[in-house]
Amino acid sequence: MTINSKLPTVGTTIFTLMSQMANDHGAINLSQGFPDFDPPEELLALCDKYLRGGYNQYPPMSGVPYLKEQVANKLKQLYQVDVDPDNDITVTSGATESLFVAIQAVVRSGDEVIVFDPAYDSYEPAVTLAGGKTIHVPMAAPDFHIDFNRLSVALNEKTRLVIVNSPHNPCGSIMAASDLNQLADLTRELDLYFLSDEVYEHMVYDGETHHSLLTHEELKLKSFVVSSFGKTYHATGWKVAYCAAPAALTVEFRKIHQFVTFTTHTPTQWALAEYMEREPNHYLQLPAFYQAKRDLFNTAMSDSGFALVPSDGTYFQLADYSNLSDLDDVAFSTFLTQEIGVAAIPISAFYEQPPDDRIVRFCFAKEDDTLIKAAAMLCRVKAMQAR
């Protein structure tokens, strides 16, 4: 049967492919982004409590009120913003659902949506399914920041949505407060919205600050801001996240959310809420926790032939391998996985038109032993071997 595909250029995601290759070859998996350690024991015990305590039927469509309140408290404590838990916050089944729903809520046929390449892989298919056109505005190595000259060229009256991502996957770059001001200045006259993918909001290093779009007086009025409990609580498989947006946008968001998943796993929402209330400092410790892992991995890689691109946030580390190989990044990632025993992500997968860089992404959300072992193996990659 021949199917007239709605997504003819989309294949299986690079994360699925590389994790599969890592498993097939018994490689250490530093490709797909997930921790190789468990969520806090106390949180697991709370899941058990709610699973066995009768919290197993549909929760309210927009999320368990207790969890939405805890999210509002967190946003107040962290960013000094007032977000109404009833009208502005919706719990979804992963950030992936929030991103998809927000895009469907505002993008119509013929609308343009700006993304900054390298861009996370779920944005463009969601735009395409909404009938929109994705406009890719490149960011350049090694600092991977928004090029506002290029952005101003791309913006026009058809632009309906601008998708930003900070801390940035895969680059590890973060937006400054001045970037938010420039976004506001350039878009003030246009009828558009923002979708801010802030799933790594609690992972910023070296004393830097995460600047949520919620903290910007102008931008927050037209933004969907998305975060993921999966990242914050070392539980990527739970697929629980939230979207914060002004009430009018949230009304449209929920109209779609109710027909995509309707609700999200009940006992996990209760457990996360109680854990957030009991341990408000969990996410405050994440910068130190992950910075130590980044530094451990980078120090162990210092004798390798890789040139590490500074990572200010996320749990990803980019590595330039141009001193080691002329292979393109897909072939080089395959070589690393199959011959060296460490899986990585080729970042060309995040581009419409990949530049001629030689860069792969490693995930450092791993036990220290895993990072030390992987780095030792990566130090064995010799120039020429991989040509």
Residue closer to ligand GLN by CB (options 200, 321) is: 200
Q: Which does 32 bind (CB under 5 to 8 A by kind): ligand GLN, ligand PMP, none?
A: ligand GLN
Under DSSP, the state recorded for 116 is E
Q: Report what 27 binds from ligand GLN, ligand PMP, none; CB cut-off 5-8 Å by kind.
A: none
Site string for ligand PMP, 85-104 (x = CB under 6 A): ---------xxx--------
Minimal distance in Å, beta carbon 95 to ligand PMP? Answer: 3
- Nearer CB in complex with ligand GLN: 85/354: 354
* Residue 228 found at the interface with ligand PMP (CB under 6 A): yes
- Minimum CB separation of residue 34 from ligand GLN in Å reads 7
Rounded (10°) angle between helices 368-378 and 286-300: 30
Residue among 315, 362, 276, 329 nearest 89 (CA) = 276
**Residue 228 touches which member of ligand GLN, ligand PMP, none, C-beta under 5-8 Å by kind:** ligand PMP
**Closer of 33 and 59 to ligand GLN (Cβ):** 33
Residue found under tokens 């298919």: 125
Determine the 3-state secondary structure of 304 from DSSP: coil
Number of residues that make up the chain: 387
Give 3-state DSSP helix, strand, coil % of the chain, rounded to 5.
45, 15, 40
Q: Does 20 bind ligand GLN (CB under 6 A)?
A: no
Q: How far is the CB of 226 from ligand PMP (least distance, A)?
A: 7
Question: What distance in Å separates the CA atoms of residue 195 and residue 214, rounded to the nearest whole number?
Answer: 11
Strand, helix or coil at 175? coil
Question: Beta 316-320 vs 307-309: how paired, if at all?
Answer: antiparallel
Q: Choose from ligand PMP, ligand GLN, none: what does 338 bind? Cβ within 5-8 Å by kind.
A: none
Q: 142: cis peptide before it, omega within 30°?
A: yes
Q: Name, in order, each residue with C-beta under 8 angstroms of 115's C-beta and a sequence gap of 6 or more.
A: 123, 124, 134, 135, 136, 137, 163
144 touching ligand PMP, by CB under 6 A: no
Q: What values do phi and psi take at 319, rounded to 5? A: -135, 125
CB 369 within 8 A of CB 36: no
Cβ closer to ligand PMP: 96 or 298?
96
Binder of ligand PMP out of 118, 172, 230, 267 (CB under 6 A): 230
Residue 26 in contact with residue 254, Cβ under 8 Å? no
Question: How many C-alpha atoms does 188 have within 13 Å on its Cβ side?
Answer: 8
**93 DSSP assignment:** S
Using the minimum distance from each CB to ligand PMP, give the nearer residue, 94 or 305: 94
Site string for ligand PMP, 167-196 (x = CB under 6 A): --x---------------------------
Q: How far is the CB of 377 from ligand PMP (least distance, A)?
A: 25
Instruction: Provide the mask over 156-195, with x wherever binding to ligand GLN is found by CB under 6 A and - wherever it is not.
Output: -------------x--------------------------
Q: Cβ-count burial of 46 within 10 angstroms (0-12 exposed, 13-18 middle, 19+ buried)?
A: buried
Q: How far is CA 377 from CA 296, 311, 339, in A?
A: 15, 21, 10
Strand partners, 321: none
Q: How far is the CB of 169 from ligand GLN (least distance, A)?
A: 5
Pick 236 or 337: Cβ nearer ligand PMP: 236
- 13 sits near ligand GLN (criterion: CB under 6 A): yes
Q: Which is nearer to ligand GLN, 120 or 306 (CB)?
A: 120
The correct pick among 15, 148, 289, 351 for binding ligand GLN (CB under 6 A) is 15
What residue ranges bind ligand GLN (CB under 6 A)?
13, 15, 32-33, 169
List contacts with ligand PMP (CB under 6 A). 33, 94-96, 120, 165, 169, 197, 199, 228, 230, 236, 239, 241
